[in-house]
Structure 1
Amino acid sequence: MNNPGGIATAVDEEALGALLAELTLEEKVGLLTGADFWSLHPIEKIGLRTILLSDGPNGVRGTTWDERDTSLLFPNPSALSATWDPEQVERAGALMGAQARDKGIAWFLAPNINLHRSPLGGRHFECYSEDPVLTAASVAGFVSGVQGNAVAVTVKHYIGNESETDRMTYDARIPEKTLREVYLVPFEAGVRAGAWSVMASYNSVNGASLTDNRRLLTDVLKDELGFDGAVVSDWFATRSTAASANAGLDVAMPGPHSPWNEALVAAVRAGEVAPSVVDDKVLRVLRLAARTGHLDGFPGPAPATTPADAGEQLRDIAARAMVVLRNEGGVLPLVPASLGRIAVLGPNAALLTAQGGGSAHVNPPHVVSPLAGLRAAFGDSVEIDHQEGVSTQRILPAIPADVARDPETGEPGFRVDFLSDAGVVLGTELRLASRLVYMGTLPAGTAEVRVRTDLTVSEAGTHQFSVSGAGQYSLAIGADEPHAITLTSADNDLIENLVKPPEHRVSADLGVGTVRVEMRSATPAFPMAMFGLNHQAPRPAADDAFAAAVEAARSADVALVFVGTTDEVESEGFDRTDLLLPGRQDELVSAVAAVNPRTVVVVNAGAPVEMPWRDEVAAVLWAWLPGQEGGHAIADALTGVVEPGGRLPTTFPVVGADSPVLSTRPVDGVIDYAEGSTFGYRAYEKSSIVPAYPFGHGLGYGTWAYEDIAAAETDSGAVTVDVSVRNTGVRTSREVVQLYVGGEGEDPLRLVGFASVTAGAGDTATARITVDRRTLARWDESASQWRVVGGPRTLVAARSATDRRLTTQIDVKDSAACAWDL
């Protein structure tokens, strides 16, 4: 995949050099810091147009955080990796690339390829896998898909960024062998696939901040791996001028203020930074501009636009990624014709967690809940009894636009006014959401934001209202006196303030009708405002809601219990403290299972959770954070319209404490990667700990016999393995054949390849897996190079890291070479 999607990665370097020669030092340096939060400066005289950047990887949000500017919401990256199919990841990437083109985005800040070192990692859901080989395969597919539409990917966060706690300051101490064999592998795969950008992370590695880390940015990434793209900082990660410029950072974001600008011009003139260093950075940005069609005189990309069937594709991808963890008695797939009544229970049935929290957030055009998906799938033929049972939301729900009216026009939504210190209205807009985020988009001089709406009250009683977000507020409900509210966040991290804000509640006794609600928020000095206006109608007592769910399950043909996390549990900005499902969800599952033996649990989460009830229920379907079409995809998976053929990309522990690597918290500012490569499934094996569900586990809807394995070494030194499998089930199904290698001293088995096959009932298929020399190699610390030590290896074909089916032996040749030659 060195030429993703047929897009030429090579450009006319002589022509780039000629454009560079036209620029003054000030113009060159001006190009290396953002013009604002999401763009670079254009330079008209050389035909350089504005380059827009956008967050990812759940979708292409664009340059605003605005519900009126919608974007496709994809299954979370762990779900994409769970397909164990780079073609499906490429398919998702192609959709993102097409939507980026529609939004005018040239530089896409995805994928996040840090590893699942600990299940507590806050951005676990946003990363692919605990295994570097599986992650590398996913990265290659994603790069090909996005850049096939002439949009630059940004592989991030380079490197050692597996924790969110103190992420701006911690030092990841990673042994060289571990760095090479584990954490660099996905980034190397991204470079091999032709990635046009890499993002330098906030943290340090082995004593040097990544934005100042010459060894990792220049010596390894650019010189050794041959990366010819641009290195961009994470937002606000650049902390120095000359040091970061000399280290190999190319673009400091965001702008217009940064440690570069005039300070970098002065550093060049003072001889602290060589002019050639600046020239190299500018050439890298111009190269990216040429590749994405933003530089005159270079071939433009072919037209691309989001396809009309994008929603259907997202639905299909999400269903394929789901993992059948348990299926006793073949209760799944459900057969609608055999069902008269089903109970649909749990907090995530009507309120799907479609995405995690943080900068990956997008505003989708809609989110299909599981309840809506099941109603559409079953129609009127099956009675559905829905009961929430328990609640898990910490903050009151946002106010839906369909029950809110603009006080001035009567249109659905919220009137938002921007006021000066003197109370003058500087601007106004109609919004369709009651939780708002402004990233550098407030009108100049804004001192206060006022949100007004006429809320339709359909149920009399005691209603709860709240404001959320750090700051000074007033909240008025009807004719009552405004409540003055001060909310202070426990953390100064902007992202944590966004996804886990403080909240203050106010009760109001209301009758049926319309009530005016007005919130005022004093804006901070920083041009980023985040606040919410929330509401909850009267609801049953907690014990009554719980009992109603259990009673609904008692007489149902099948009880479907939807449990999961929220975007306050899984988010950028902080790590989890445990793997428990929030609220009384575990209690609800056990109570339902006690009254209905055909209980199916659907887990709506992006990262592992404890499932103490897993042996009490008939089936468990892991649905991930499935994106905007999640409800339809879940219905497709439950009914077998699409086989949920996913396999776990990470190990699920019985309890959190079983995880061999658990802590994400620095000690004296340091996170010690002393475990080396022995984390995830390799650590479970070495520690003789039995997980709840192992890496690679997934039942699908088929059963398989492994019949034969044959291996041979090719002339190039690669190893080709053929594994013959037979579908012993009753329907066409897909199998993922995983290949592990042993015989490397005392190290546990490690994944070196995989392939999938599809076969009809009773049919046989052969999976061919090719393992190149680079994957077989290990880092020789004494010689500082890669080496394949000759000798015997054990090759194991398996259904998971613990379900090993066939074994063969092979002798490999001894060789030593650089990364690219192996």
Structure 2
Amino acid sequence: MVPGKKSLAVAALSLCGLGNAQQNITSDDYFYGQSPPVYPSPNITGTGDWATAYQKAAALVAQLTLEEKNNLTYGIETTDNGCAGNIGAIPRVGFPGLCLQDAGNGVRATDFVNSYPAGLHAAASWNKTLAYERGWHMAGEFKTKGVQVALGPVVAPLGRLTTNGRNWEGGAADPYLSGAIGAATVEGTQDRGVMSSVKHFIGYEQELYRNPTINDAGEIAIQSISSNIDDKTLHELYLWPFQDTLKSGAANIMCSYNRLNNSYACQNSKALNGLLKTELGFQGFVVTDWGGQHSGVASALAGLDMTMPTGNNLFQPGEHFWGPHFTTAINNGSVPLSRLDDMATRILAAWYKLGQDSPEEPTPGIGMPFDISGPHEFVSALTNEAKPTLWAGALEGHVLVKNDGALPLKCPKLISVFGYDAIAPPQFIPNNAVASDPWELGFEPAFFQLDVLPNSPHIVDAPAIDQVALNGTLSVGGGSGGNAGPYLSAPLDALQQRAYQDNTMVQWDTSKNLTSLGGNRAAEACLVFINAFATEGVDRPGTYDSYSDNLVAKVASNCSNTIVIIHNAGVRLVESFVDNPNVTAIVYAHLPGQYSGRAITSLLYGDDNFSGKLPYTVAKNETDFPAYWHSYGEAPYQEFPQSDFNEGVFIDYRHFDAHNITPRYEFGFGLSYTTFGFSDVQVSCLESGLDTYPSGHIEQGGAVDLWDNIANVTATVTNTGSVTGSEVAQLYVGIPGGPVRQLRGFEKVMLAPGASSPVTFPLTRRDLSTWDVVAQKWELQSGSYHVYVGSSSRDLPLTASFQITTSSS
């Protein structure tokens, strides 16, 4: 990255013959992150299990007119259904069109669907089987509603920025965990015949400046943030989970709003043509995020296949980059016909591969219309079959981090409940609002208020330093990732139901001033419910708030057994009360979806056991995080804001390990009502004399031999306590020349008291390689590899090592 060097992004923009609103960019001094050009865009080849779908798609494309091919590439808006985006039908050849709809934790903006635990909650479960089942059941609801493309799962943001407003949609600040949960979700979704749209590709790690800022004249005043990422970091962190989802068959990738090394992600030829379609052999299609297209010809040549929406560009009003104008670009030679043919073939191949050409498929968007103002036809996607997954998902994402003997509750005769998060919000309805960016609302980015939290049932009425949903329990975050279920179980409601069953008593005070504190000295336990809110479009103003911390302190000053439950949409610090002797237990309850209250009540009373683990690190201080706050536009880059990922691969626990910083709660940490032991670690290498670099042919997911299993690590987990529980056995590997430890395996096992179970962690070539920026390949190094097995990134009682010798040694 050299200041003043001519940006390749500028060169790419000169190709934007259609609708280019950026041709006035002339100064090279604003650019220093460089994105190399990769052209032409590779054609789909039908490798691996895409062969049959590719052949069918190619045959259908050969029958289409130029206009029909073109119509496949751009989304249209319609009042006929509630789909976020639509691809029009081609009745002449029997193509019914496509409905694309949010989001990653359930169908958005409709009724009679479930609100599943959020991505953050799923990551905290550390349960790949549960992630698959969650995807499978959600996909059934998308299908019933006539949705062909489900806009999820989220694997970016990865969580580099601690205060990112969308971390809750993905949730794991580690590429291996994010990739494993994401891949399982894709498999579950697509096994049900619904396309996954894995998002947001790539480097989307902050909300501030995620989109261009428009001035009063309707011109772009500030470009989107540029995520400046070196090649090694890009591969080892941010590309990693996308590669996992591609290996699992993802049919669609959504490109992101931000710029990557100063080239917009949806027209970045290195990212789309080079990484995605060449190196990773992607066979499906790339779609923009809504309003994420900023050029016509350039984005097509760079590898974009579909845009959403075209007719109403959100950030450059009046611009129609493709749509009816795109055929002009084909006819005048600006875009070769072969590029349009490939775009259409990729879209139809994904449609065929998911079996969506079946005559039994529902009409696109048939179950989506929703009108709160009057009667409408109900299409229910609710089933009894989904309930066990909803229940298990809600339970397993809760993480118990402190327990001084307070839990489980042993049928207390009297409990007191406090806090704004304990009650149901006054509104809980589906809606179609989208979180606006703070500069569009006219507020400073760090000091804002939202009257209504979009797509979730909460109202935010606190100043930025107290960013909480004060009027009700937080079951889901805000923005396009949020949705509402058929009902919401709030904590106080569920606790009162438990008191009814036990013939016990609950008293509560959820007022802002806690006027009844004196009465809780008689309570056997005091439960304090607080939350930490986050939404799309705005980064969080912090990781704690004084109002909630003071609320905890007030209760604890009058109650010697104070239990704090936090519904958090991201990292939440607890330093103001964690060492208070009267605070006897702390639970990170995350975002459990519609079963929230029932789930926490079952856990608090010990009917079910805690089994969640933190998918991020909780620090003692904000300054301990490598990237806590978003980047601003600073001189001389005010119009072209830059975010330099200077920490490289050292985010979250890797950073804490590298700098010997003691966290409050480490990545992978979580308590249970029982205890576990680890023993008998063994390492076996399956091959010797391995090639330094992979040499296999490319299928979707990359070189096929990257996935060869070259070593196994086994260990035994034993339940050493007196309660049945589940433990997440975690494997970390020290790769020569890399971070001291990186997560490279995890398995969740349920064990009765005294029972033991073996766990096996297969290690692939990719798991043990580092990215060689010169060879542009994954490099397996000769040397000693150290392995660590235990219950968190800092509790690793088992260690071993093995030697790898490559053919080039």
Rounded to whole Å, the distance in 2 between the matches of 1:815 and 1:196 is 36
- Partners of 1:808 and 1:624 lie apart in 2 by 34
Task: Please list every run of at least 4 consecutive aligned residues from structure 1 whose deviation after the TM superposition is greater than 4 angstroms.
Answer: 7-10, 296-301
> By how many angstroms is 1:547 displaced?
3.7
Q: Tell me by how many angstroms 1:255 deviates.
A: 4.0
Tell me the residue number matched to 2:179. Answer: 136
- Aligned counterpart, 1:21: 62
Question: Partners of 1:574 and 1:603 in 2: how far apart?
Answer: 21
> 1:25: Cα distance to partner?
1.2
SS of equivalent to 1:595? coil
Deviation string, structure 1 residues 193-250 (Cα, Å, up to 9, x no partner): 0001000111111121111111111121112211111100000111111100111111
The question of whether the paired residues in 2 share the 8 Å contact of 1:734 and 1:758 is answered with: yes
Q: 1:59: which partner in 2?
A: 106
Correspondence 1:197-276 to 2 at 5 A:
197-257=252-312, 258-276=320-338
Change (3 A) 1:309 1:370: farther
Q: Counterpart amino acid of 1:580?
A: Y
Deviation at 1:39?
0.9
Any conservation in 2 of the 1:74–1:314 contact (CA below 8 Å)? yes
Partner of 1:332: 407
In structure 2, what is the equivalent of residue 590 of structure 1?
553
Report the CA distance between 1:659 and its aligned residue: 1.2
Q: Which residue of 2 aligns with 1:310?
A: 386
Equivalent residue in structure 2 for 1:32, among 70, 73, 78: 73
Tell me, in whole angstroms, the C-alpha distance in 2 between the residues paired with 1:103 and 1:678.
Answer: 42
Instruction: Please give the secondary structure, in 2, of the residue aligned with 1:154.
Output: strand
Alpha-carbon shift at residue 70 of structure 1 (Å): 3.9
Aligned residue among 158, 161, 166 for 2:204 = 161
Rate the CA distance shift 1:666–1:584 in 2: closer, same or farther, 3 A: closer
Q: Deviations over 1:673-704 (max 9, x none)?
A: 11110010010112222111110000122212
Query: What is the SS of the residue equivalent to 2:787?
Result: strand
- Give the Cα–Cα distance (whole angstroms) in 1 for the partners of residues 328 and 807 of structure 2: 49
Correspondence for 2:118: 76
* 1:383 lines up with 2:505 in the alignment: yes
Name 1:636's counterpart in structure 2: 602
Q: Distance in 1 between matches of 2:709 and 2:187?
A: 26
CA–CA separation in structure 1 for the residues paired with 2:54 and 2:359: 12
Contact in 1 for aligned 2:787/2:800 (Cα 8 Å): yes
Work out the CA distance in 2 between the residues paired with 1:595 and 1:247.
63
- CA-CA distance at 1:389 after TM superposition: 4.3
- Name the aligned partner's letter for residue 38 of structure 1: G
* Pair 1:49-2:130 in alignment: no
Deviation string, structure 1 residues 60-104 (Cα, Å, up to 9, x no partner): 11xxx35xx242111110110111111111111111100001100
Deviation at 1:782, TM superposition (A): 2.0
Measured against aligned partners, the alpha-carbon deviations of 1:419-457 in whole angstroms (never above 9, x if no partner) come to xxxxxxxxxxxxxxxxxxxxxxxxxxxxxxxxxxxxxxx
- Asked whether 1:123 is paired with 2:198, we answer no
* Match 1:355 to one of 476, 481, 484: 476
* C-alpha distance in structure 2 between counterparts of 1:614 and 1:344, whole Å: 19
In structure 1, give the amino acid aligned to 2:144: D
TM-score between the two structures when normalised by the length of structure 2: 0.77
CA separation in 1, counterparts of 2:801 and 2:53? 49
Alpha-carbon distance, 1:642 to partner? 2.1
Q: Secondary structure at the match of 1:629?
A: helix
- Aligned partner of 1:707 in structure 2 is 679
Deviation at 1:596, TM superposition (A): 2.1
Q: Distance in 1 between matches of 2:527 and 2:361?
A: 54
SS of the residue 1:52 aligns to: strand
Residue-by-residue CA offset, 1:461-507 (whole Å, 9 max, x unaligned): xxxxxxxxxxxxxxxxxxxxxxxxxxxxxxxxxxxxxxxxxxxxxxx
2:801 counterpart letter in structure 1: Q
Q: SS at the partner of 1:199? A: strand
One of 759, 778, 802 as aligned partner of 2:770: 778
In the TM superposition, 1:284-295 aligns within 5 A as 284-295=346-357
Of residues 730, 734, 750 in structure 2, which corresponds to 1:738?
730
Change (3 A) 1:18 1:762: closer
> In 1, Cα distance between the equivalents of 2:56 and 2:717?
54
- Counterpart CA distance in 2 for 1:217 and 1:658 is 35
Query: What is aligned with 2:590?
Result: 624
Q: Distance in 2 between matches of 1:89 and 1:717?
A: 23
Structure 2 counterpart of 1:29, which letter?
N
On the 8 A contact 1:776/1:788 being kept in 2, the answer is yes
Find the counterpart in structure 1 of residue 539 from structure 2.
575
Residue 563, structure 1, aligned to residue 638, structure 2:
no
CA change 1:746–1:776 in 2 (3 A) is: closer
Q: Tell me: CA distance 1:70–1:812, structure 2 relative to 1, closer, same or farther (3 Å).
A: same
User: Residue 15 of structure 1: CA displacement?
Assistant: 3.1
Structure 2 residue 111 is matched with structure 1 residue 145: no
Q: Which of these residues, 185, 198, 203, is aligned with residue 240 of structure 2?
A: 185
Determine if contact 1:49/1:294 at 8 Å carries over to the other structure. Answer: no
Unaligned stretches of 5+ residues in structure 1: 1-6, 391-541, 817-822
CA shift, 1:382, in A, is: 1.5
TM-score by length of 1: 0.75
Report matched runs for 1:663-742 at 5 Å.
663-667=629-633, 668=637, 669-715=641-687, 718-742=710-734
Assess if the C-alpha contact under 8 Å between 1:133 and 1:185 holds in 2. yes
Identical columns (%): 32
Structure 1: which amino acid aligns with 2:782? G
Counterpart in the other structure of 1:553: 520
Q: What is the DSSP-based 3-state SS (H/G/I as helix, E as strand, rest coil) of the residue aligned with 1:26?
A: helix
Gaps of 5+ in 2: 1-47, 78-83, 212-223, 313-319, 364-379, 424-471, 688-707
The separation in 2 between residues aligned to 1:56 and 1:300, in whole angstroms, is 19
Contact 1:353 1:604 in 2 (8 A): yes
Offset at 1:9?
Answer: 5.4
Go from structure 1 to structure 2 and tell me whether the alpha carbon gap of 1:223 and 1:143 turns closer, same or farther (over 3 Å shift): same
Higher strand share: 1
| Equivalent-residue separation in structure 2 for 1:736 and 1:334 (angstroms) | 24
Matches of 1:707 and 1:248 in 2, distance apart? 50
Counting only pairs closer than 5 Å after superposition, residues 462-481 of structure 1 correspond to structure 2 as none
CA shift in 2, pair 1:780/1:316, >3 Å: same
1:354 CA drift (Å): 1.1
Does the CA contact (< 8 Å) of 2:162 and 2:629 recur in 1?
A: no
Quick one: distance in 2 between partners of 1:719 and 1:299?
A: 43
Residue 268 of structure 1: CA displacement? 1.1
8 Å Cα contact 1:352/1:369 also seen in 2: yes
In structure 1, the partner of 2:134 is 92
Cα distance in 2, alignment partners of residues 75 and 657 from structure 1: 30
Cα drift, residue 743 of structure 1: 5.1
SS of residue paired to 1:222: helix
Given residue 206 of structure 2, which amino acid in structure 1 is its aligned partner? S
8 A Cα contact 1:82 1:648, kept in partner: yes
Query: Paired residue for 1:4?
Result: none
Amino acid at match of 1:178: T
Native 8 Å contact 2:398 2:587 kept in 1: yes
Say if 1:803 and 1:731 are closer, same or farther in 2 by CA, change over 3 A.
Answer: same
Aligned residue identity for 2:306: V
- The corresponding residue for 2:461 is none
Distance 2:495 2:305 in 1: 50
Work out the CA distance in 2 between the residues paired with 1:12 and 1:734.
41
Instruction: Give the corresponding residue for 1:478.
Output: none
Q: Is the 8 A contact 1:320 1:642 kept in 2?
A: no
Instruction: For 1:808 and 1:150, locate their aligned partners in 2 and report how far apart those are by CA, in whole Å.
Output: 43
What secondary structure sits across from 2:196 in the alignment?
coil
CA distance in 2, matches of 1:777, 1:352: 44
User: Root-mean-square deviation (CA), in Å?
Assistant: 2.2
1:290/1:298 contact within 8 Å kept: no
Q: In structure 2, do the counterparts of structure 1 residues 682 and 14 end up closer, same or farther at CA, with 3 Å as the change threshold? A: closer
1:101 corresponding residue in structure 2: 143
Distance 1:687 1:547, change over 3 A: farther
Q: In structure 2, what residue type is equivalent to 1:22?
A: Q
User: Equivalent residue of 2:173, what SS?
Assistant: coil
Aligned counterpart, 1:750: 742
Alignment-derived partner of residue 446 in structure 1: none
